[in-house]
Amino acid sequence: MLPPITTEPGTQLAALDDVAASAVHLRLLTDNMPALIAYYNVKDLRCQFANAAYAKTYGFDTQSIVGKNVREIIGEKAFRTIRPYIERAFAMERVSYERALVTPDGQDRIIEVNLIPHVGAEGAALGTFVMINDVTKFRLAESAVRESEERFGKFADASNEAIVFFEDGFVTDVNEAATRMARTAREKMLGCSVLDFIAPECRETVAHHIRSGYEQPYEGAVVRADGTIIAVELVGKAIMYKGKTLRMTIVRDIRDRKETEARIHFLAHHDPLTRLPNRAMLMECLHTLVESARRQSKQVAVLFVDLDNFKTVNDSLGHFAGDELLKRVAERLKHSVRSTDLVGRLGGDEFLLAMTDLNAPEEVVPAVEKIAELIKEPFSLEGEVFTVSCSIGISIFPKDADTPDMLIRNADAAMYFAKDRGRSNFQFFTSSLQQSAHHALALESGIRKAIKQVEFVLHYQPEVLAKTGAITSVEALVRWQHPDLGLLGPDKFIPLAESRGLIVPLGQWVINEAIRQAREWLNLGVRVPVAVNLSAVQFKQKGLVEDIAACLARHHLPGELLELELTESLFMEDVAAVTKTLNELKDLGVTLAMDDFGTGYSSLSYLKRYPIDKIKIDRSFIRDIPNDKDDIAITIAIINLAESLGLRVVAEGVETTEQAEFLEYHHCDYIQGYLISRPLPPAEILSWLRKRY
Ligand code: C2E
Ligand code: CA
Ligand code: CA
């Protein structure tokens, strides 16, 4: 805001005559105007009047400038530039031009000069009024806008993301990428409604976001000229472009991301081998089936199906044939039930079926017999013909249990009973089964005895940094040196030990032994973290953290030399309790790894929610790399996911250099598998470590 005009102190305006007063007014007015004002006579181009600003700009004051020639005032060089304008003004033309000027204090300015001819009563030119505005500010702003528009235009053209400009909903401009995305020419897009390019089901949302000026990214779909539809992310912005406020939308192709998300979602709910629902999805579906049966007063049969001689096929033909067999069994099971029934794989050679809409348990018998018959039909595999049979345990809702969990557990118990009865048959659950736990008791005492007599041993398998081969940890894998049966792998006794609650004493022995071993190595100068597998049952056991803390203390092992490998199933349980235990373990300095990632729930949310340090990609995904494109895609998706969450990622079961190269290329930094080393007994792993250390 400019201040009001005030008269110099002491000026007695009232004492002046009209002519003198108006001279004072003129002086006051011009000196206070935000413009430069002067008057030159035509005769010798001498200044007859200048306001204070004009005089000051050229280094004079209002008195000293009067009588000076324009050449003296503005300088010879400037005079030469403006001379043509002066001549035009004296030829009675109003002239306006711009020029650059350096002020006496060295500032660069741009001025707009107006020359207004002064004509006498006789019609001859007497002089010229000069009025100058400083337009520096405006010219700078304009050129900044021009530059940024140019820059923006170039950027839009170079961008791989489609950019669409529009006004009132009609396209005014598009970049190259937009024409590629829409599969049409720029000219055909201009003038169209923006919504013409949006898939019908998203038009309402997009229109709403445009109207409301929404500026956050959101998902939608674009229809291309050839009618195909692609998933995109849209971000709307209001911008100044070519002097106008335009709306612009940036459109990003997110088909790859969508595909990965869908794959991971599928993964989380399906068994990758048979593509059947996995345990997580079975539990969800079973819950729904049970609830609807409850409402309709119907019964549900839950069938636990276990192949009898699967191990023989697997051992004699190898796991490729074993996998193939499981896939074919899955197919047969799918075809043996109605579409409303449920079929899934629990893991290994165990399948689960649920049959709905029953009024009595017996109604399920024909279906069960049909399943058993279908499974018994010969399979031809790798040129040989095989037959397998299955044992089936059945539990009924609501008679035997009324939660999915208990229904499965009782069907499992019935299945064991069927196996005991000589396999290849089916059994209903009975309450007497609950009591006949003598088999479990025998195993329990067997394991207890084995612990006491130290029949268990730990073998150790190293994990290395792929790039250098440096050892990052060794994983302890338990074996049972059985007095009669020889060395038994964990698959022979862990599942049973888990289902009978015997994993706790066994697990305690493993933890203690692994920690003791790591300490012994440390004493020998080999510092390497040891990784221990924890089963879910063990994890939920009260006092786990205290046990581990006590073991570490007993052997004086720093917590950072212990890793715990956890299974995904854990993370679906009571979030608060799991978080608490995990945090307590982290407080001991222990590293937490997610084992067999991709086979269970594979939910992204828990990875973010829990303090996990690393994930181990299950070896079933690694096995067929680089031949299976699904496995490749899943593995890459998991690696990227881990990277984005800042987690270390380890590939297990690496057997070939091709696999290792593939993994290194895709930034999976850590690997474990037969390529590096098989699990080795304690003496052998020590010399292996020493060689590498
Ligand atoms: P896991 O934790 O996934 O362990 C890796 C298994 O893959 C080991 O089988 C190992 O011998 C095998 N393996 C490693 N590299 C390769 C390879 O390149 N190719 C192939 N084909 N296999 C490879 P293992 O020792 O039979 O252990 C089986 C499972 O038993 C383990 O799977 C783990 O879940 C469980 N387990 C082992 N020890 C313990 C234990 O002390 N406690 C608990 N709760 N579970 C254990
Ligand atoms: Ca493991
Ligand atoms: Ca594993």
Rounded distance from Cα 651 to ligand 3 centre (Å): 9
In short, whether 461's Cβ falls inside 6 Å of ligand 1 is yes
Rounded CA-CA distance 619/634 in Å is: 12
Rounded distance from Cα 37 to ligand 2 centre (Å): 89
Residue 504: φ, ψ to 5°: -65, -55
Greater model confidence, 676 or 425: 676
CB atoms within 10 A of CB 657: 9
Q: Whose CA is nearest to atom 19 of ligand 1?
A: 653
Q: 255-263: which pairs have CB atoms within 8 A and are 24 or more residues apart?
A: 255/230, 255/231, 258/231, 260/633, 260/637, 260/640, 263/633, 263/634, 263/637
Q: Whose CA is nearest to atom 35 of ligand 1?
A: 490
Average confidence (pLDDT) over 359-381: 90
Residue 11 pLDDT: 66
Ligand 1 atom closest to Cα of residue 567: 34
Amino acid of residue 336: S
pLDDT digits (tens, 9 = 90+) for 479-505: 998 877 788 889 878 877 876 667 888
Would you place residue 693 in the very low, low, confident or very high pLDDT band (cuts 50, 70, 90)?
low
Residue 491 pLDDT: 81
Greater model confidence, 339 or 484: 339
User: What is the share, in percent, of the chain residues with pLDDT greater than 90?
Assistant: 49
Would you place residue 520 in the very low, low, confident or very high pLDDT band (cuts 50, 70, 90)?
very high
Ligand 1 pocket: which of 461, 533, 595, 617 to mutate (most atoms <8 Å of CB)? 533
Q: Whose CA is nearest to atom 46 of ligand 1?
A: 533
pLDDT digits (tens, 9 = 90+) for 28-49: 888 888 899 999 998 899 999 9
Beta-bridge mates of residue 366: none
In short, whether 489's Cβ falls inside 6 Å of ligand 1 is yes
Cβ-contact 5, 28 below 8 angstroms: yes
Is residue 311's pLDDT more than 80? no
pLDDT digits (tens, 9 = 90+) for 219-242: 999 999 999 999 999 999 887 666
3-state secondary structure of 84: helix
Average confidence (pLDDT) over 349-363: 93
Rounded CA-CA distance 29/85 in Å is: 27
Rounded CA-CA distance 258/230 in Å is: 10
Q: Cα 258 from chain centroid?
A: 11
In short, whether 673's Cβ falls inside 6 Å of ligand 1 is yes
Rounded distance from Cα 689 to ligand 2 centre (Å): 19
CA triple 591-596-598, angle to 5 deg? 120
pLDDT digits (tens, 9 = 90+) for 437-480: 445 555 667 777 887 788 999 999 999 999 889 999 999 999 99
Rounded distance from Cα 617 to ligand 3 centre (Å): 7
Rounded distance from Cα 678 to ligand 3 centre (Å): 14
In short, whether 573's Cβ falls inside 6 Å of ligand 1 is no
Report which bound ligand comes closest to the CA of 597. 3
Report which bound ligand comes closest to the CA of 618. 3
Taking the complete model, does pTM exceed 0.75, yes or no? no
Q: Whose CA is nearest to atom 16 of ligand 1?
A: 653
Closest-CA residue to 329 (of 375, 292, 290) = 375
Is residue 602's pLDDT more than 60? no
Greater model confidence, 399 or 142: 399
Indicate the helix (H) or strand (E) that contains 202: helix 200-212
Is residue 405's pLDDT more than 70? yes
Amino acid of residue 390: C
User: In the structure, how many helices (H) and strands (E) does the chain have?
Assistant: 26, 26
Residue 586: φ, ψ to 5°: -60, -35
